[in-house]
Amino acid sequence: MIIVLLCLLAAALLTLGFEMLVVIGLPSLIAWQSFFPTIPTFIIPQKMVAGVNVSTTLAIPFFIFAADLMSRGTIAARLTELMKANLGHLRGGIGHTATASCMAFGSVCGSAPGTVAALGRILHPELTRAGYSDRFSLGLIAASSECALLIPPSITLLIYGWLTGTSIAALFEAGLVIGLVLGISFMGLVLLETARRGATPAPKASRRERLQALKAGSLAIGMPVVVLGGIYGGVFTATEAAAVSVAYALLVEVGIYRSFGWREVFRIAEASAITVTAVFILLSVGTLMSYFITLARVPDTLIAFITAMDVNWVTFLLIVNVVLLVAGMFVDPNSILLVLVPALFPVATALGIHPVHFGVVVCLNICIGMITPPFGLDLFVASSTLRRPVETIISGITPFILVNLAVLGLISYVPWLSTAVLALTGH
């Protein structure tokens, strides 16, 4: 009953439009004063600081700063030209170019909203010129950008790994596989729309043009090669890889491409610092709530309830998917992770679900939430970037949500898609 009342309070605060800091923090403080008053006051800030004072979370500000640097530079345009030179002449080539460009930029950015903002203005005119409808073009850009939450370096998977103690390298490997599956599924939808609309491909690029595009985009492609190669090759950890990504972005955008000067770098750093501050405040408050969830023995209660109801892993994942999909319609990704994962993860492991498998299921649900009405963040980023009504983007995103749900069902109930790569790499 206690937990239900606190959940209702959080839901009421969310409905009334309070910031997530209050939605998560106030119920936590009420739980402390009402049910655990003997806990000394100094424990509260100690828990909040200790929760984020770990090496894994140090990767978050570095990846955010690197993403902001590349979003302001020319890497997005160079990647798009490279993909167009190699895919544009195929059937559905411009649509495939959009999907591949979003996946490639996501692999150096790690942020779905950042991918929409960086590539939206570049890809949308190309798609409409090729014959795709305005609605489908908008939906394709917004949906393909969500692959950035799965393809490494994924900030969402980083936070999940921090919350659960799961190997970041293993999560990145599984996320890469699932991101590719999702991207290929979108390409299948592009082929169907191409046949329906009769969209025209781009002229086939000559060998010289392809080589020029490769030369122009080689340094942009080099980012995921350096970062992921370093992690999987044992050269550096995920946290060190994040620092390397910043150094690489600065070297390429400032030193080689000269996209902007150092004065702009400081302005970008200021904007990144604001984003990082908001994220870390949420993480620290989420740590406090996780502490009280553990003290209240919520995971043990859920495990006992599920055992009594004889719920198996199949039914459990169905429940988890429904809960996460509904939550994703209203709540931002970080808050979903902080609120639900500490309670659900112990139950998942008790039912024999692999931590990495559960992680990609959670992450894919969050991806779907980013493009699901009424409050999917990517819908509003695309609307702002491309100056189109949100309603138009929602009408175009619907077929992509259906594809996402089909992939979610496949990933949920075919676990080896997430874990097979771990056996090959020794994780």
In which region does residue 87 sit, left (phi positive, over 0), alpha (psi from -120 to 50) or beta (all else)? alpha
Ranges of residues in the chain with a pLDDT under 70 are: 1-4, 110, 374-375, 425-427
- Radius of gyration, alpha carbons of the chain: 22
Rounded to the nearest 10 degrees, what angle do helices 390-413 and 168-197 cross at? 120
Give the whole-angstrom CA distance, residue 165 versus residue 101: 32
| Domain membership flag for residue 30 | no
**Whose structure tokens read 């609309």?**
197
The confidence score (pLDDT) of residue 206 equals 83
Give the whole-angstrom CA distance, residue 144 versus residue 101: 9
Tokens of 214: 């490769």
Task: Tabulate helix, strand, coil % of the chain (nearest 5).
Answer: 80, 0, 20
- 295-298: long-range pairs with CB below 8 Å, 24+: 295/36, 296/2, 296/3, 296/31, 296/35, 298/3, 298/343
| Domain membership flag for residue 8 | no
SS3 136: helix
The confidence score (pLDDT) of residue 2 equals 61
Domain interval for residue 137: 52-425
The confidence score (pLDDT) of residue 310 equals 79
Residues 42/18, Cβ–Cβ less than 8 Å? no
The confidence score (pLDDT) of residue 427 equals 60
| Domain membership flag for residue 44 | no
The confidence score (pLDDT) of residue 184 equals 93
| Domain membership flag for residue 29 | no
| Domain membership flag for residue 40 | no
The confidence score (pLDDT) of residue 426 equals 64
| Domain membership flag for residue 304 | yes
Give the whole-angstrom CA distance, residue 334 versus residue 24: 11
Question: Which secondary structure element, helix H or strand E, spans residue 86, and what is its range?
Answer: helix 75-87
| Domain membership flag for residue 306 | yes
Number of domain units in the chain: 1
Give the whole-angstrom CA distance, residue 120 versus residue 76: 10
The confidence score (pLDDT) of residue 231 equals 75
Give the whole-angstrom CA distance, residue 324 versus residue 405: 12
Residues 142/393, Cβ–Cβ less than 8 Å? yes
The confidence score (pLDDT) of residue 1 equals 56
The confidence score (pLDDT) of residue 62 equals 86
The confidence score (pLDDT) of residue 411 equals 94
| Domain membership flag for residue 195 | yes
Give the whole-angstrom CA distance, residue 246 versus residue 264: 15
Give the whole-angstrom CA distance, residue 20 versus residue 372: 19
